[in-house]
Amino acid sequence: MSTDKPAPQPVELPRNAAKAGYLHALREHLDGTREACISWVEYVPGYRGGLEERGPVWVPEDEVVRMRDVRYDEIDIAIESVAAAVPEVVHAPAPPGWPAVLPPPSVSVGEERLAAWLLDAIPPGYRAHETLVAQPLVLAWMAAEHTRQAIDAHTKGYRSAAVELKQYEEPETIQELLEVYSVELDRLHRLLKEVYAVSRYLINAHS
C-alpha cells in the first residue's frame, strides 16, 4: 500500500499576515475538533531578509479557507484520527524582535492588544486622544519616532556627561550616570526592534 502523502494544496489564511499558504494535512480529535497542518511564505525585510518559508504547523481548521477550483479530495481522505491527547497546537515561532509579552503573529493577536502595547512605548499624554488609540499603524510610527529620539538623547548624554559634569561631580557619580545611560540605551534599542517587528506585522496585515 502506498504511503505517499497528499500534495499540499493552496489555501487562504485570513488570520495570518501572509494571507495565503498551503494545506498539508488534516487531523481530527476524539472530541470532534479538527486541525489543519499549514505552511506559508513570509517576507522578512532588511538587507539579510527576503522570502522565508514558515511551518508546517498545526492550527485550528477554521483558520483555513479553501479556494475555489482547488481539489482537496486526497487531503480529506487522508485525514488522521487522533486517538490520544496531543500536545497543544504548536505555532510558528515569533519573528526576530517580536515583543516577548505578546503572542506570536501565528496566533490571532488582536490589533487592540497591539495598540495597548504600543501606547506603553509613547508618552502617556497621548492616551487622551481617542483617534490615535484606534489607529495602531499611527501608534507604531509614533512609537518608533519617540524611541529613536530617546536613543539620540541618551547617546548624546552618555557622550557629554563626563566632560560637562567633571568639574561639579565626583568621578564615581559620573560613572554611575554612565552605567544608567548604558542600561537605558540597551533597553531602548530592544524596544525599537520590537516596535519595528510590530510595525511590519501591521503593514503586512493591512496590505
Instruction: Point out the least confidently predicted range of 21-25, 71-75, 111-115, 165-169.
Output: 111-115
The whole-number pLDDT of residue 107 equals 62
- Calpha distance 132→139 (Å, rounded): 7
Please say if the pLDDT value at position 2 is more than 50: no
Q: pTM for the full model?
A: 0.56
Q: Mean pLDDT, to the nearest integer, of 95-103?
A: 85
What are the angstrom distances between the C-alpha of 113 and each of 64, 108, 119, 120, 126? 23, 11, 10, 11, 17
Question: How far is 151 from 111, CA to CA, in rounded Å?
Answer: 26
